[in-house]
Each structure stands twice: as C-alpha cells, then as structure tokens.
Amino acid sequence: MITKKAVRYLLAAFLILSFNFIIPRAMPGDPLTNLLGEDIALSAGQVTELRSELGLDLPLYRQYLHYWRRLLRLDLGYSYHYSQKVFNLLIARIRWTLLLAGPAILLGAAAGALLGSLAGWRPEQPGSRLATAVALSLYSIPPYFLALILLYLLSFKLGLFPLKGYYTSGTVIDVARHLVLPVLVLTLFTATRNFMVMRGSVMQEKPRHYVTYARAKGLLDRGVLFRHVFWNASLPLITLLALDFGFILGGALFVEIAFSMNGMGTLIYEAVRSRDYPVLQGAFLAITMMVILANFLADLAYALIDPQVRVRR
C-alpha cells in the first residue's frame, strides 16, 4: 500500500517538474524573457549568448534533458533581480516560512481536532454552538485581512507586538515576539478548518455500533470520546491536513506579506511585481515538493492509526 503511494508521489513529482519545464516555453512572450525575468536590460550580444547558453536554440527534447540535468545539480537558475542563484535564495527564505508554518500547523491541528471533537460530540450544547459560530466566522475571514486587523489593533495602536519582520535584534525571545501574531493568524486559519472537519467527522462516528458497545463496557462520556471516537474520527482530518498543506502554505505566504516578513511570501510578492520568473518557478517547485513530502508524511501517520492500511496484503 505504501509503495503504491510512493509511486504515485514520484509520478506526481515528475509530472510537476516537467510541467515547470513547459510553462516558460508555452506562455506568451519570448521564452528568454520568461526564463530570465523582465527586470534586466541586455544588449543584443548578451541576448544571443544567453540564448545559446540556456539552450533555447536546441530542439525541445534536448532542452528537456538539459533541464533535468540542471535540476539534479540543484541549479534552478539565476535571479537578476536579487543577483543570487535562485536555489540559495530559496533556501535562505524557506527556513523562515517553515518557522512560521510549522508551529501553526501543529497548533492548528491540535486545537482544531480537540475543540472540533468536543463540539461534534455534544453539538446541542451552547458551548459547542458558540464554538462552531466562532469557527465559521473566523473561517470566512481572508487570512491576510485578519492579519492586517490584528496588526493594526495590537501592534500599531497598542504597541504590544513588533510591526514587521521576523526579528530586529536576533535573539530567540525577539524572534518569538515577532512570531506571535503571524503564528496566531495562521493557526486560526488552519484550526478553523480542522475544527469543522473534526466536528463533522465525530458527528458521523457517533451513531456507530462500536460507540454503543464502548458505553456498554462502562466507559463514561469522555472515555468513549477520547479512547475511541477521537481516533477513528481523526482519520479524515489527517487526509485533510495532507491535502491542505498547499493551502496552508498559501495562507502562510499571505501572512508573511501582511507582516512584511522576509520569507517565501515576500519573495514571491517581489518576484511577481518585478516579473522575476526564475524565482517564481523555483518557489513553485519548492512549495510543490514540500506539499508532496507532507502528503507522504500524512500517509504514514494515517497508516499508524488505521490498521487496515498497514496489515492488508
């Protein structure tokens, strides 16, 4: 079962990487510009030189092979806008984005799963209703808008948190202070989605037979929920987390932009504005690879909980 999935992931990676090859060549405009970005001024001589260097006069399939060779050398191109190799740029920026996204995903999963399961277990109670109403409202707010509001209220007006960036002085505490609001926003973003799914999942599990039997064994409410239903209900949530990773990263990008933090988000923002295509492509690649990895990890987690995936031959 795992190997079948692994094949799927490799195939997906292969397809996406190939797709990445096609885009600059298929999009309107000169492939050279598409590959280098629009932010540079070149003489005619440089243009011909670069064209042959990039292999644009070669037949397509040879360009394709070239592309793969460069990929395996981790050569993702050069950004004239930043005067750096794209790969180095990405590495430098990804760290920060992960620092933001990592805690948010974990906190969001825990909070969403826990609160969602409680709300789904006793949906008629006023506490559950309130929680659901709050979750729905937060779910509807675009993440960067929420970021802007919190930034305005808590940083601008009240001065509780720094206004921008990942750090000012560079100490651990300083970085932590900078991270509080962005992580909060992103956590709310993921937690509300997880909440709704977990709530629904628990509601679906409740009428099942094994739940009655668990009660028949003498388990109290909390016991039935947390020894049994919670784990069975968490399976769709794990699937969601995997599928959603791309979406969460998207949210992280916007949060970074709102808080002017130097991660992938602002990198992409700048790249869009200066039409720095190599950076955009590299970023897309990086994110996609992370999503595939996340999916793979989620599959492993799923297999840990659901024996039918592990044991069935």
Partner 1 sequence: MSCLHLRNLTVDFATPSGNLRAVDGVRLDHEGGESLALIGETGCGKSVVAHAILGLLPGNATVGGVIEFQDRNLLAMSERELAKVRGAQIGIVLQNPSLALNPIHNIGRQIGEPLVVHRGVALRSTRPKVLSRLRRLGFLDVEGHLDAFPFEFSGGMNQRVLIAASLILEPQVLIADEPTKGLDAGLRGLVRKEMLTIKHLNSSSLLLITHDLELTRDIADRVAVMYGGQIVEIAPAESFFSGPLHPYTRALLQSLPENGFHPIPGPPLSLTDPPGGCRFHPRCPERGEECARRRPDLYASGRRAVRCLLYS
Partner 2 sequence: MRGPEPNSRRFPKVHRLGLALLLGFLLIAVLAEVIAPYDPWQRFQPYLSPRPEHWLGTNDLGNDILSELLHGTRVSLLVGLGTAGIATALGLVVGLISGYFRGAVDELLMGLTDVMLMIPRIPMVIILAAFLKSGYGVIVLVLGLLWWTPTARIVRSKVLQVRESAFVAGQRTLGFGHLRIMFSDILPNILHVLSPKFMLTVASAMITEASLSFLGLGDPGVKSWGMMIHFAFEKGGFIRDLWWWYTAPGLAITLCVLSLVLIGFAAGKEEPVAAALPG
Cβ within 8 Å of residue 242, ≥6 positions away? 294, 295, 297, 298, 299
The residue from 11, 91, 106, 176 that contacts partner 2 (CB under 8 A) is: 11
List all residues 6 or more positions away from 20 whose beta carbon is below 8 Å from its beta carbon: 281, 284, 285
Cα(2)–Cα(15) distance, integer angstroms: 20
By C-alpha distance, which of 298, 259, 268 is closest to 145? 259
CA distance 204 to 30: 54
Separation CA 257–CA 94 (nearest Å):
14
Yes or no: say if 193 and 136 are a contact pair by the CB < 8 Å rule. no
Number of residues lying near partner 1 (CB under 8 A): 25
Instruction: Pull the structure tokens for residue 130.
Output: 């309130």
Task: Between 174 and 306, name the residue whose CB sits nearer to partner 1.
Answer: 306
Stretch that binds partner 1, among 11-19, 152-160, 215-223, 239-247 (CB under 8 A): 215-223
173 binds partner 1 (CB under 8 A): no
Does 281 engage in binding with partner 2 (CB under 8 A)? yes
Is-contact 75 87, C-beta < 8 A? Answer: yes
Please tell me whether residue 161 binds partner 2 under the rule CB under 8 A: no
| DSSP H or E stretch at residue 193 | helix 172-205
Q: Which CB sits closer to partner 2, 18 or 48?
A: 18
- From the CB of 186, what's the least distance to partner 1, in Å? 30
Find which of partner 1, partner 2, none residue 17 binds, CB within 5 to 8 Å per kind.
none
Question: Which stretch in 84-92, 141-149, 175-183, 223-231 sits in contact with partner 1 by CB under 8 A?
Answer: 223-231
Residue ranges in 231-250 that form contacts with partner 1 under rule CB under 8 A: 231-232
220 sits near partner 1 (criterion: CB under 8 A): yes
Cα 76 to Cα 63, 81, 116, 139: the distances in Å are 14, 15, 42, 36
- How many angstroms separate the Cα of 279 from the Cα of each of 95, 125, 171, 240? 16, 51, 29, 29
Q: Stretches 109-117, 194-202, 227-235, 291-299: which one binds partner 1 (CB under 8 A)?
A: 227-235
CB of 215 to partner 2, least distance (A): 22
- Contacting residues toward partner 2, per CB under 8 A: 8-9, 11-12, 15-16, 23-24, 27-29, 34, 136-137, 139-145, 148-149, 152, 156, 193, 196-197, 199-201, 203-204, 236, 239-240, 243-247, 249-250, 253-254, 257, 268-269, 271-273, 275, 277, 280-281, 283-284, 287-288, 291-292, 295
- Contacting residues toward partner 1, per CB under 8 A: 207-210, 212-221, 223, 227-228, 231-232, 305-308, 311-312
